[in-house]
Structure 1
């Protein structure tokens, strides 16, 4: 799919005092070549990104995405992004998104070997149509992530808390899930602790409690999950972060995968065990996620 819009950014320092960053942006043809063949994002996946959902031209949860971009940059030893510059660039991209749902990608790369660094750009695309999956739900399987739950603290160089461009493992996990007759996957540790899905956060309902895996170094703290918990708490509902043993998953009274573009997809089956689908609550949840959110 060809992007609607693409913008190259000349990254400003985080303490740049200017109020107008227009001169640091270069609009480019989204269908034309724009990056060097030496670009390390394509050669090594050496960079970070964010996917910002857009509804009717309104970019959702921009601050949360910018905060996570900065956090990922810190973990990956990339230059700290100027968040006001990226906010302005996101607004420009959102202005080129028409009615309906779109997705803006913010990308910050280490650049090229022995060359100017970093490289930064933004794209805007129509979002896939997830209407059906938000209603019928997804079947998931648990897949071992290949390390125990204490590894993130022992090995920070694995960059497990950063949203990096190195998504080959995530995509391989989804392909494996489909080979097993499911739609998606949930990563688990070798010692039986639940992490997250390859491209989404997990929320479970047990009784009247909504819970999600504790945001340790091995989990990318989801912007949509944060927004959902805030919405739940506004309604007086209880939320909790904690370690979730894998054997608790089939005991959930309801479950969802939540992300910025797919929004809330109810889980109907985990490793072959059926999970109740709360259609009325899911519809209200997605109605909230489709409303303008800053």
Structure 2
């Protein structure tokens, strides 16, 4: 059985198979909640390094506000993170996941549900980081500016409602690909279900802008751009079509768990590869 550590707000560490949700919890019945996930690296001595925890807690707060949930008690969540990591001693890479739900439907004035888990990083993610990924484009059904005047669509909010993203992953697998890159109705690339897209063109790193596109503000992508800029590598936010990606010097999917994974094949077309470039991208992101 895969080792897993679980802690609950107000309860602390619980057994990994303990019941932590009621059958009428709105996170379960409606997907009404939000979450964050980031990488933890555990040393042989049991020490832990968490990637960008303050930034993830800030985005957690943003998502909570967008959903009309109570303010995230940062101090309480930091303590919960320390608590769950205190029960985790498996050396190597793992995923720390923080989840909030609105609580029980039968107790609308009751407390929210808060859960933190730690699980080993999937071998599949490690392999894709090393070897790259094959990706197919998939229409997301919205234009590149669909979220500009529609805040109720929850653009840029990391909600528990992940059915579409999971369905996209199954679609990719059914069609012999590792991942999906969503596109807009007006022909631009957005993001992958769980990753930002970054490409190198004209000696500059690019990514799709947030805001009106409705995509998530990627913490790992921002860390990549900050490190690149500090090394004299210019960056830019811009819209691009799938065909434009085919003419770039490299394309990556960037996320907090898998890290940067080079897209080696897009819609069955082999993309250019510059030896050593992905190593540099990984270094920029701390992977």
Q: TM-score, normalised by structure 2?
A: 0.91
CA RMSD between the two structures: 1.7
- Does structure 2 retain, via aligned residues, the 8 Å contact 1:54–1:94? no
Note closer, same or farther for the CA distance 1:235–1:152 as it changes in structure 2 (3 Å cut). same
**Residues 124-273 of structure 1 mapped to structure 2, 5 A cutoff:** 124-129=118-123, 130-217=125-212, 218-273=214-269
- Does structure 1 retain, via aligned residues, the 8 Å contact 2:12–2:83? no
User: Is 1:122 the counterpart of 2:124 in the alignment?
Assistant: no
Note closer, same or farther for the CA distance 1:43–1:2 as it changes in structure 2 (3 Å cut). farther
Q: Deviations over 1:57-110 (max 9, x none)?
A: 211100110111011111111111011221222233233243100111100101
User: 5+ residue gaps in structure 2?
Assistant: 43-47
Q: Deviations over 1:97-128 (max 9, x none)?
A: 43100111100101111411311111111111
**Residues 40-55 of structure 1 mapped to structure 2, 5 A cutoff:** 40-55=26-41
- Does structure 2 retain, via aligned residues, the 8 Å contact 1:135–1:283? no
Aligned to 1:8: 8
- Does structure 2 retain, via aligned residues, the 8 Å contact 1:2–1:30? no
Aligned to 1:37: 23
Query: In 1, Cα distance between the equivalents of 2:92 and 2:230?
Result: 27
- Does structure 1 retain, via aligned residues, the 8 Å contact 2:8–2:80? no
Q: TM-score, normalised by structure 1?
A: 0.89
How far the C-alpha of 1:275 sits from its partner, in A, is 1.1
User: Matched residue of 1:78: which SS?
Assistant: coil
Query: In 1, Cα distance between the equivalents of 2:89 and 2:164?
Result: 30
Query: In 1, Cα distance between the equivalents of 2:33 and 2:237?
Result: 29
Note closer, same or farther for the CA distance 1:3–1:105 as it changes in structure 2 (3 Å cut). farther
Aligned to 1:14: none
Query: In 2, Cα distance between the equivalents of 1:134 and 1:93?
Result: 26
User: 5+ residue gaps in structure 1?
Assistant: 11-24
Paired residues, number: 277
How far the C-alpha of 1:132 sits from its partner, in A, is 2.3
Q: Deviations over 1:200-230 (max 9, x none)?
A: 0110000210000011241101111011111
**Residues 95-110 of structure 1 mapped to structure 2, 5 A cutoff:** 95=86, 96-110=88-102
State the 4+ residue runs in structure 1 displaced beyond 4 angstroms: none
